[in-house]
Amino acid sequence: MTPEELHKIAETELEAKQQTQHTLCVCMAAGCVSTHSDKVKESLAQQIEKHGLKETCKVKGVGCMGLCMAGPLVAVEQTGALYQMVAPQDAEEIVKNLGKQPVKRLVCDTTQPFFTRQKKIVLENSGVVDSERIEEYIAAKGYEGLLEALTSMNQAEVVEQVSKSGLRGRGGAGFPTGLKWGTVAKARGERKFVICNGDEGDPGAFMDRSVLESDPHRVLEGMAIGGYAVGASQGYIYVRAEYPLAVKRLKDAIKQAERLGLLGHNIFGTTFSFNIEVRLGAGAFVCGEETALIASVEGKRGQPRPRPPFPAERGLWDCPTLINNVETFANIPPIIRNGGEWFAGIGTEKGKGTKVFALAGAVKNTGLIEVPMGISLREIIFEIGGGIPDGKKFKAVQTGGPSGGCIPEQFLDMQVDYDSLAKVGSIMGSGGMIVMDETSCMVDVAKFFMEFCMTESCGKCVPCRVGTKQMHELLSKITDGTATDENLAMLEELCDVVKNTSLCGLGMTAPNPVVSTLRYFRDEYMAHIHDHRCPAGVCKIGKEQLATV
């Protein structure tokens, strides 16, 4: 592959595009597929054939368009019209109306804040390009960042641009990406590795799944640029086995990139070679922790080890290893294409760029969104999310999954970035955002997360293994209405010891949901303990409990 060949592919693709009058884009990400968008796509193709429009009209599968709750979604590329909840039998009407007024009863309003308030960098191609065709990605400036890095920048310059961008790790902790890249680049080692963490284990998060299904090449390109910057020639991408579609698209994407010479030996005729292999996760939340993930890639039990030494120094097979999450790598190609300063101009002083959130729970518009850092929670939930359905009242928003916390109403106007979320006792996390209304019991929610941490604890260190179990027992007592004030004191004491003495991030953050709900919803705990009453009516206490026995 030469630079000219890359540009040629893009031109050919754009020409073909211009010759098409109408392109119907059907969402083929897992959300819409589960509501049978594949059948919609099939029947749209049949209708085009039937009406003799094969020469001028095309149907293509694209990635996630965001508004999962309204799927299956179909967009008309040329006009921007968007159809929602499309059934296979709607296909004929849609096809017949191409070039005319869109079918009114199916139209999804794209002027609503859900669409207009977003800012897309990571998701710029999601819902636009056919994720199964590398040519479309190339036509959308794909692999130009890699080309630029390899042909006109040295390694230090790449690291410098990433540093300048102010990008912080999107996996949760928010470590400055440029600093990490610089450390791995400087680390001494004959062999180095790049690992992409796609083990999206947070329940309630599906950003990485969507990115991998919708725009896999973007992640591969980001990894290759990372490999060049740190001096690695082998990359691994660790994906959950629970995401079969993402795994398939990734594997196909790797083959396509290898075929075109965008991965493999001497990329763009330079001395840089880079290969990527997929490694399947197997259902262990702890493997999101980087040292546990490395153990898993090595084929072992996914148990973390104490850091330091950090993977940047001693990672996979004890070699210096760069580990970033899917969304972090997905930000890299546009940063290299447009420069670090461009990226740093988006967001706030402390949080640069955008963040992808998976919006779910008690909110009207559930789905995937990308917003600039610094946007307020209120804007996300009430404008983009459309507020709480069924006339219910907002109670809390949970961010960061089992490692995060529940944020109450008084902080809705707070800017969303790493530091302000930490200040109120939660974390940015990987981007899961679950809205809860008055029908959720916060003690029950805390118990839910503790049960999660307890069953996901790897069992290596004592405080996490036994401490989470004891905390779960205590929370169960509270939700049963049989707990005492002493039990609550013991729970708080356990939160402290588990947080401060556990070996890895799972244990250190496991108390967060309890701590944050105790901080903001202590009255609910008290109602369970003193009045034997669940204010939200979720927990079966006293008489109710007796009745169900």
Paired tokens of 289? 């922790």
Neighbour tally for 164: CB within 10 Å: 17
Report yes or no: 369 and 359 within 8 Å, Cβ to Cβ: yes
| Nearest distance from C-beta of residue 69 to another protein, angstroms | 6
Q: Which stretch binds another protein (CB under 8 A): 11-19, 127-135, 158-166, 357-365?
A: 357-365
By CB under 8 A, how many residues form the interface with another protein?
81
Confirm or reject binding of residue 329 to another protein (CB under 8 A): no
Closest separation in Å from C-beta 368 to another protein: 7
CB 516 within 8 A of CB 433: no
Maximum distance among all alpha carbons in the chain? 76
Q: Which is nearer to another protein, 10 or 33 (CB)?
A: 33
Contact 214, 125 (CB under 8 A): yes
Q: Name which of 440, 435, 418 is nearest 427 in CA terms.
A: 418
Residue 490 touching another protein (CB under 8 A) = yes
* CB-count exposure of residue 251 (10 Å: 0-12, 13-18, 19+): middle
Cβ nearer to another protein, comparing 148 with 213? 213
Per DSSP, the residues of 204-218 read T--HHHHHHHH-HHH
Q: How far is the CB of 109 from another protein (least distance, A)?
A: 18
**What is the C-alpha separation between 176 and 476, in angstroms, rounded?**
39
165 vs 303, beta carbon nearer another protein: 303
Pairing of strands 82-83, 74-76: antiparallel
Quick one: 321 or 468, whose CB is closer to another protein?
468
Minimal distance, residue 125 CB to another protein, in Å: 19
CB-CB contact of 200 with 377 (8 Å): no
Residue 202 as a binder of another protein (CB under 8 A): the answer is yes
For 92-115, the DSSP string reads HHHHHTTTSS--GGGB--TTSHHH
Q: Does 206 bind another protein (CB under 8 A)?
A: yes
Site residues for another protein, window 277-306 (CB under 8 A)?
279-285, 296-302, 305-306
Judged by CB under 8 A, does residue 189 bind another protein?
no
Site for another protein in 405-464 (CB under 8 A): 432, 434, 436, 440, 445, 448-449, 452, 454-463
**Candidate list 2, 12, 21, 34; residue touching another protein; CB under 8 A:** 34
Q: Is 367 in the site for another protein (CB under 8 A)?
A: yes
CB of 479 to another protein, least distance (A): 13
* Interface with another protein (CB under 8 A), residue from 1, 26, 35, 184: 35
- Tell which positions 121-160 bind another protein, by CB under 8 A: none
Using CB under 8 A as the binding rule, the residues of this chain from 3 to 32 that contact another protein are 30-31
What are phi and psi for residue 246, nearest 5 degrees? Answer: -65, -40
Residue type, 518: L
